[in-house]
Structure 1
Amino acid sequence: MHTALLLLPDFLLIVIGFLLCRYTMLDRSVWDGAERLVYYLLFPVLLFNSIVRNPLQPSALATLGLAGLAIVGCGIALALLLGRWPGVDARLHASGAQVAFRFNSYMALALADRLGGAPGVAAVALLVAVAVPACNIAAVWPLARHGGHGFLKELLRNPLIIATVAGLVASLMGLKLPAPVALTMERIGLAALPIGLMAVGAGLRFGALRDAPRLAAALLGIRHLVLPLLAVVFVRFTDLPPLQQLVIVAFSALPTASSCYVLAARLGGHAGFVAGLVTVSTLLGMASVPLALGAYAALGPVPGTPLR
């Protein structure tokens, strides 16, 4: 119950965004601009500032980064294997496979902030840096085969990756920001999470999942059942400190990225099918994240791992 209450404010912000977009003058056109503001300015500043203020040790960078890639890699492999099912529509699979392994960065950062404050956000920033390129490549590749689109340019221009890499470089160089600059960036970062979460709610859509219900159930099962179970077991065999173990488990159970719909629509996929998957995944995240964290708490920290 404690974990569910911890997440409740974030999910309420999503509900507020949904209601504002559907039933007030703050319609879709307003939230399109808000999403761009969050994606290109607010979140990059939050990521950069969190890393500079809370540098991770090099050994933790490697272990945490590999742990995140391991979870994402399992999701990618399982999602792509679904394409070999007899009777699976190639276009629907190419469009929806990304839902099984991509994650909502907005919710990841908000959750990390609640679980561990700035150190938790710094840990998630690293996961974003290593997982987003892998997820984007795996998401774009099936769609690109149908539409002939490339993805390397998009990866190199991703603002979240740029901000995280810049933060890691600045941290390794021992950069200390002047107090007025640091305070300004901190205040910008504070605006990122509530606006980002409300933008997630504004983007919820109930699409037509009836076109492939079995495929939809399998993709959502990977995202919200298989990956969290793997993460809970996996962290038992790492030497990560408890906070980072907690972040990995929460990361594995997150709702899928709301931008899955945008990618499918832009590359000629089945956008309606993906919109439905994103909506259901967001709702399932309200249960999967608390359940995964509860399972981790029931097992307890890895024996012999120091608290820090």
Structure 2
Amino acid sequence: MSVAQAIFPIFALILLGYGLRRWFRLSDDFWPQLDRLIYYVFFPALLFHSLSGFQIDLGAATPMLEVAILYMLAGMALGYVAKYLFHAPPKVFAASFQSSFRFNSYVGLAVAGAIHGQDGLAAIGLLMGFLVPMANVAAVWALARHGEGHWLKEILFNPLIMATAGGIFFSLAGLHLPDLLQRPIALLSQASLPMGLIAVGAGLKLQSLNRYRRTLWYGVLVKLLVLPAIAWGLASVFGLTGVYFHIAVLMAALPVSTVSYVLAMRMGGDGSISAAQVMVTTLLAMVTLPMWLLLMGF
């Protein structure tokens, strides 16, 4: 499959979501409710279905996990440096800090499935099981001074983490759900990626691009170019090859998660700069993601 064949359908659905929200008269609460449905039902179904049916080789996957954790820590460090480089107000820093390491899982799963099928979905799902809690803890830590939130509960009972843990357990234990349950889960998982990508497009916001521009573009540069380069170097040093190499670099190259905007708004950060970073990284990823895939030989 060529890069264009893998990438075009993904960003076509993102652009479709952007157009649907702006040109169709849907009720104001439709999109938030769709986000909840994807987050609590469709997406967990995909993760559980992919991981539970995948023969996980922890010995082979451990170097990939180590690489991912190291570049996630590097992203956090680079994000924190922005506090001293640009001296943005605390609420702006707390919100923009996330852009250096948070990743859009919907886009990641779609690309991983396009380039490596079920193996790609399982590998990136395994990474998400470790990186989602790290990202949540770091983001909540930065935002904690600006509001109150049940952050520990949100992390422990995160549906994505729970689905990942369940899928890994079933895979390692050699367990299988009866077809009566497995088939509905498989059908739900098929709906998750198109609905998730449409929701990403619907969440793009054309605002605040002129506020704190240096902070904004620093985060964009780190997320789309610097972090994938770090991941590539680490993956080479750790001897990763094949699907594990590709997924490790892909994970680092993803645009910023829309969850960063939701969390910033919930915990009192500057939501406008988070929205701008989500929008800019998603749009520029239409160029940078194919670039990284081409460099990896796709």
Q: How far off is 1:70 after superposition? A: 1.5
Partner of 2:96: 96
Runs of 4+ in 1 over 3 A off after TM superposition: none
Residues 21 and 28 in structure 1, CA contact (< 8 A), matched pair in contact too: no
Unaligned 5+ runs, structure 1: 299-308
Quote the Cα distance in structure 1 between the aligned partners of 2:218 and 2:239: 32
Q: TM-score, normalised by structure 1?
A: 0.92
Count the aligned residue pairs.
298
Q: Matched residues, percent identical?
A: 37
Q: Point out the more displaced range, 85-94 or 250-259.
A: 85-94
How much does 1:93 deviate?
0.8
Q: Which runs of 5+ in 2 are unaligned?
A: none
- Amino acid corresponding to residue 75 of structure 2 in structure 1: G
- From the superposition, tell whether residues 251 and 86 of structure 1 become closer, same or farther in structure 2 (CA, over 3 Å): closer
Structure 2 equivalent of residue 283 of structure 1 = 283
CA distance, structure 1, for counterparts of residue 244 and residue 28 of structure 2: 36
**Greater alpha carbon shift after TM alignment, 241-250 vs 8-17:** 241-250
> Hey, what does 1:296 align to over in structure 2?
296
Name the structure 1 match of 2:146.
Answer: 146
C-alpha RMSD over aligned residues: 1.6
Partners of 2:86 and 2:233 in 1: how far apart? 31
Q: Given the alignment of the two structures, is residue 74 of structure 1 paired with residue 86 of structure 2, yes or no? A: no
Contact 1:47 1:160 in 2 (8 A): yes
For 1:161, the equivalent position in structure 2 comes to 161
- Higher relative contact order, structure no. (Cα contacts within 8 Å, ≥ 6 residues apart): 2
* TM-score (norm: length of structure 2): 0.95
Alignment of 1:101-250 (within 5 A): 101-149=101-149, 151-250=151-250
Q: Residues 86 and 179 (structure 1 numbering): CA distance in 2 closer, same or farther, change over 3 Å?
A: closer
What whole-Å deviation, never above 9, does each CA across 1:228-266 have from its counterpart, x for those lacking one? 111222221223341111111111111110111111111
Matching residue's letter, 1:255: P
Deviations 1:79-111 (A, max 9, x none): 011112253322211111101110001111111
What is the rounded CA distance, in whole Å, between the counterparts of 1:176 and 1:268 in structure 2?
A: 43
The 3-state SS of whatever aligns with 1:297 is coil
Q: List per-residue Cα deviations over 1:262-282 (Å, max 9, x = no partner).
A: 111111111112111111111
Aligned to 1:21: 21
Amino acid at match of 1:266: R
Name the CA shift for 1:28/1:111 in 2 (closer, same or farther; >3 Å): farther
- 1:292 alignment partner AA: W
C-alpha spacing 1:27/1:223, structure 2 compared with 1 (3 Å): farther
